[in-house]
Amino acid sequence: MSTSVLPQTTTWTADPVHSVAEFKVKHMMISSVKGHFAAIRATLTLDGEDVTRSRVEASLDAASIATGELQRDAHLKSADFFDAAKFPTLSFVSRGVARRDDGSLAVTGDLTIHGVTREVVFSVDGPSEPARDPWGKERIGLSAATKINRKDFGLNWNAALETGGILVGDEVAISLDVQFLKS
């Protein structure tokens, strides 16, 4: 009789106090505006034997968007952009993890923004080795980045500039720095 050993998997939950989900987009084609989402939720199921068998689910509260300008934040929450009243959550569900030659991971999954789901690939550094905090809790961290075209998600609002060009760029850089607590 053979005994099969299940791989050691652990579950980790994002610590929103020590995590950030940021974005950057061109404004008036001359500089970038940055913002972040304050309400982050994520669960990482980490396979300790083979990280490529790991998976992650994450969500952001659309109404938690902050760019440092209240009027802009209100516009971003409106139907012109995220329509936070109708689509309160941005979400990501991984479908695959692959190792890259440089040691990073390519995490492929479904990103849903404004009710539209598209496949994206995040470049991920980490997860780090586990460390214990001063209160005895085990933590790991990772960083992830990708770029999307906002129009692919139905975020089409824009304004033409008198001098030519547009007010808001189409390409959005997304970066995440997430610290997880062992569940």
Domain ranges of the chain: 9-178
Residue 102: other Cβ atoms inside 10 A = 7
Domain 9-178 indexed as CATH 2.60.40.1120: no
Query: For the segment 107-157, what is each residue's pLDDT rounded down to a tens digit?
Result: 999 999 999 999 999 999 999 999 999 999 999 999 999 999 999 999 888
Q: What is the pLDDT of residue 29?
A: 82
Confidence tier at 87 by pLDDT (50, 70, 90): very high
- Is the pLDDT assigned to residue 161 strictly greater than 90? no
C-alpha span between 37 and 22 (Å, rounded): 7
C-alpha span between 36 and 66 (Å, rounded): 5
Confidence tier at 1 by pLDDT (50, 70, 90): very low
Give, for 181, the enclosing helix (H) or strand (E).
Answer: strand 168-182
Per the prediction, the chain carries an average pLDDT of 92
Q: Are 167 and 27 in contact (CB under 8 A)?
A: yes
Alpha helices in the chain (DSSP H): 70-77
Q: Are 30 and 43 in contact (CB under 8 A)?
A: no
- Is the pLDDT assigned to residue 46 strictly greater than 90? yes
- Is the pLDDT assigned to residue 17 strictly greater than 90? yes
Q: What is the pLDDT of residue 159?
A: 79
C-alpha span between 178 and 42 (Å, rounded): 9
